[in-house]
């Protein structure tokens, strides 16, 4: 199966004039893109601005996207270039981070910087979301938790997870779906509950 098939079907819809499909792509990749841009700028709000600019550039350039590479790879390049240009234009030196490194110490340092610039309201919501998701994952049955972590953290395909867990691909699909459902049930309560921010995900 093509690694980019669902993204490509959404991209084709955007290219045919369906702006709602682009919204779906933004929802999927916004967090990844902000994290990527934060390798170049310190301020989370600035990183969001650059990510926003990258998304808009991508939308405008989408008619020229032919699907030779994966959509995210293409978007990634746009975001990197946008971030570099932003850094140059603001006369700041970029923070050099190795893209492949996943150092926990580095991660804590970055989170600390992020919190400095974050608004209290945003922090409360973000912390509550994080806490809810982590609690829900901890409460999952072992096989569901392993499947969703292998998928989301390790980025393995269903076939690779099936090989790792020694089960059919269909079972992997079912386990990941059930894990998401269980977490989403809790998460929905956060968004629809006390903070009243349901519309923010829509």
Partner 1 sequence: MNEELDSQLSAMFDNELPAAECELLARRLSRELQLKARWGRYAVIGATIRAEGGARLDAGLARRVNAVVSAEPTFLARPARQSANQLPRRWRRPLAGIAVAASVAAASIFWLRFQGTPQQTTTLVDASGPASTTQDEHLMSASLGSPGSYVIPKRAVRRSIVPATQLANYVVAHSEFSSPLNRRNLLSALMAAESGTAGLSSGSEEPTEDVYDDAKSAQ
47-76: which residues touch partner 1 (CB under 8 A)? Answer: 47-48, 51-52, 55-56, 59-60, 62-63, 66
Cα 150 to Cα 63: distance, rounded to the nearest angstrom:
34
Cβ–Cβ under 8 Å, residues 158 and 173: yes
Residue 96 Cβ, how far from partner 1 at the closest point, in Å? 19
The answer to the question of residue 149 lying near partner 1 (CB under 8 A) is yes
**Alpha carbon of 49 to those of 37, 88, 192: distances in Å?**
10, 15, 27
Q: How many angstroms separate the first and last alpha carbons of the chain?
A: 29
The answer to the question of residue 148 lying near partner 1 (CB under 8 A) is yes
Q: Kindly compute the dihedral angle of the four CA atoms of residues 153, 144, 172, 160, in this order, to the nearest 10 degrees.
A: 40
Residue 172 Cβ, how far from partner 1 at the closest point, in Å? 9
Exactly one of 138, 153, 166, 196 binds partner 1 (CB under 8 A); that residue is: 153
- Would you state the structure tokens that stand for residue 161, as one six-digit string? 């997870």
The answer to the question of residue 95 lying near partner 1 (CB under 8 A) is no
If the CB atoms of residues 40 and 191 are measured against partner 1, the closer one turns out to be: 191
The helix/strand/coil state of 175 is helix
Cα 87 to Cα 84: distance, rounded to the nearest angstrom:
5
The answer to the question of residue 78 lying near partner 1 (CB under 8 A) is no
The answer to the question of residue 184 lying near partner 1 (CB under 8 A) is yes
Exactly one of 78, 137, 164, 165 binds partner 1 (CB under 8 A); that residue is: 137
Nearest CA to 137 out of 193, 92, 99, 176 is that of 176
Residue 162 Cβ, how far from partner 1 at the closest point, in Å? 11
162-181: which residues touch partner 1 (CB under 8 A)? Answer: 173-174, 176-177, 180-181
11-40: which residues touch partner 1 (CB under 8 A)? Answer: 12-24, 26-32, 34-35, 38
Contacts of residue 96, Cβ cutoff 8 Å, sequence gap at least 6: 39
102-121: which residues touch partner 1 (CB under 8 A)? Answer: 107, 111, 114, 117-118
């Amino acid at each position: 199966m093509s690694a980019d098939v669902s993204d490509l079907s959404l991209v084709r819809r955007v290219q045919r004039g369906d702006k709602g499909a682009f919204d779906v792509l933004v929802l999927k990749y916004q967090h990844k893109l902000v994290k990527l841009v934060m390798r170049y700028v310190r301020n989370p709000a600035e990183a969001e601005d650059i990510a926003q600019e990258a998304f808009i550039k991508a939308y405008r350039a989408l008619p020229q996207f032919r699907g030779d590479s994966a959509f995210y790879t293409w978007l990634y390049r746009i975001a990197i270039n946008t971030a570099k240009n932003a850094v140059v234009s603001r006369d700041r030196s970029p923070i050099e981070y190795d893209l492949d490194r996943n150092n926990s110490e580095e991660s804590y340092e970055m989170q600390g910087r992020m919190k400095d610039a974050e608004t209290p309201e945003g922090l409360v919501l973000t912390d509550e979301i994080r806490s809810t998701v982590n609690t829900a994952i901890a409460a999952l049955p072992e096989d569901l938790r392993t499947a969703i972590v292998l998928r989301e953290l390790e980025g393995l395909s269903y076939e690779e997870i099936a090989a790792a867990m020694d089960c059919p691909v269909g079972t992997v699909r079912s386990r990941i779906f059930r894990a998401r459902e269980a977490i989403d049930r809790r998460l929905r309560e956060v968004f629809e509950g006390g903070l009243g921010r349901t519309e923010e995900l829509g």
